[in-house]
Amino acid sequence: VTPKALSPHELEIWHAFKKMGEHVFSRVARDIEEASGLSGSELGVLSRLEDLGKGQLRQQELAVSMGWHKSRLSHQLTRMENRGLLKRSAGKDGGVLVSIAESGTDLLGAARPVHAASVRERLLRRLGPNQAAVILDLFARLSAG
């Protein structure tokens, strides 16, 4: 086979799809960072600790809930532990227990409303009448095997 190159129109769609995400994510991340000093990853971890556990989760559960590989989470937790946002301790079953620290709780409290406002400002309020539905449909189509 000799696959054809992408047409200008195909390239335009691909380009828009790429830039769309980059644009929104970078702005939301910046809003959160400016208001709380937390990165997007840090907010994700702290939110789950508070929402899914009561400030405490097994590392393995945390990994699954984020959809992250263990290695990625391990590196992330190491950085966050160094920043004093959380603590790790030995669980009774051989696993590791991750607990949110006081400064983590404080920053999370500051970041949550900013996150909500930013997602509304950068994405939700800009969606046309049926575009939210299109996004959900698109997500399903693109994620399907």
Partner DNA sequence: AAAGATTGAAGGTTCAATCTTA
Partner DNA sequence: TAAGATTGAACCTTCAATCTTT
Q: Using CB under 7 A, pick the residue from 49, 77, 86, 101 that binds DNA.
A: 77
Q: How far is the CB of 17 from DNA (least distance, A)?
A: 16
The partner residues of 88 in beta bridges, in order of sequence, read 98
Report how many residues bind DNA under the rule CB under 7 A.
30
Site for a second copy in 116-145 (CB under 8 A): 116-117, 119-120, 122-124, 126-128, 131-132, 134-139, 141-144
Give the C-alpha separation, 22 to 88, whole Å.
33
Q: Give yes or no for residue 31 binding DNA (CB under 7 A).
A: no
Q: For residue 90, give the 3-state DSSP assignment.
A: strand
**Smallest separation (angstroms) from DNA to the CB of 2:** 27
Q: End-to-end distance of the chain based on CA atoms, in angstroms?
A: 23
Binding residue (CB under 7 A) for DNA from 24, 53, 56, 60: 60
The total number of residues shown for the chain amounts to: 145
* Contact call for residue 122 and DNA (CB under 7 A): no
What mask, x for binding DNA by CB under 7 A, covers residues 82 to 101?
xx----x--x-xxxx-----
- Any alpha helices (H) in the chain, and if so which ranges? 8-36, 40-51, 59-66, 70-82, 102-122, 131-143
Rounded Cα–Cα distance for residues 127 and 138 (Å): 14
Q: Which helix (H) or strand (E) holds 57?
A: strand 56-58
**Residue numbers at the binding site for DNA (CB under 7 A):** 26, 30, 39-42, 58-60, 63, 68-79, 82-83, 88, 91, 93-96
